[in-house]
Copies of this chain bind each other. A is one copy, B any other.
Amino acid sequence: MASRTPSAAPRAEEQHSATRAPRRRLSVDERREQLIAVALQLFSDRAPEDVSIDDIAAAAGASRPLVYHYFPGKQALYEEALRRAGRELAGRFEESGEGPLSERLHRVMGRYLDFVQSHAAGFTALLRGGSVVASPDAGAVIDQVRRAAQEQILRHLGLPDPSPVLRRTVRAWIANAEISSLDWLADKPVPVETLQPHLVQELVAALTVAATRDPELADRLGEFFAAERPDGPAARLVRDLAGTLASPALADSLLRLATPPAH
């Protein structure tokens, strides 16, 4: 096992690689990072079962033994690539607390959907759960990303002790974003410019429904709507809803239902 430590890199392998693509010899850390980056690219474009150690070696301009020198096998490389991807995705959720809430969320969703598109096959394989390379570790990475998303949203809402209904609303919306991304990757029934604001508006609507059971959230939503701009996603939702609900088909019924029953 000692000969497998990265500090004892096999010189012949490095030279073999160098003869094929002449370049500066990579340090141990650089080589390790390069292999992870190459693996992440391949696992993003294909399901894990369709990527071999030979594919990774070829794409890295390295030999199969060199890859095995750094990683015990495909599973280890996959899990490391997955951790990197999870960290990168969680990083995309970070957003300044300035400006209208729906515009902040719209920017985050733009970065999220960009990530989803550039890791399409790997994202699908991972979340569909049908991958033979799936592992408890993969589940832990997914859970970490979900928790990061939930914490970021709750942080933007600025309620230090979120109610159970608010937590559930945010968690359910994160599931919505996942499912919607998966379905969207499968056949892209709408352009990203449609999906992105719609997901934002669905959270705004779900928060508003939750606010009927959470007075603290209702107060906070008042502040948020006050800060929204006329061209933002929340304002467009309010206008579209006002238009739809004012139609003859709906207005009379809603007015009748809004009036408390006399009993």
A residues whose Cβ falls under 8 Å from a Cβ of B:
129-130, 136, 139, 164-165, 167-168, 171-172, 175-176, 178-180, 183, 189-190, 194, 198, 201-202, 205-206, 208-209, 211-213, 218-219, 221-223, 225-226, 228, 230-231, 234-235, 237-245, 247-250, 252-254, 256-261
Q: Which residues of B contact A247 (CB under 8 A)?
A: 218, 222
A252 nearest in chain B by CB position: B226
A212 nearest in chain B by CB position: B240
Q: How many copies does the complex hold?
A: 2
In whole angstroms, what is the CA distance A205 to B256 when docked? 17
Interface of A is mostly: helix
A219 nearest in chain B by CB position: B249
- A82–chain B nearest beta-carbon distance, Å: 15
A187 nearest in chain B by CB position: B164
Q: Are B231 and A253 in contact (CB under 8 A)?
A: no
Q: Are B244 and A218 in contact (CB under 8 A)?
A: yes
In whole angstroms, what is the CA distance A238 to B250 when docked? 12
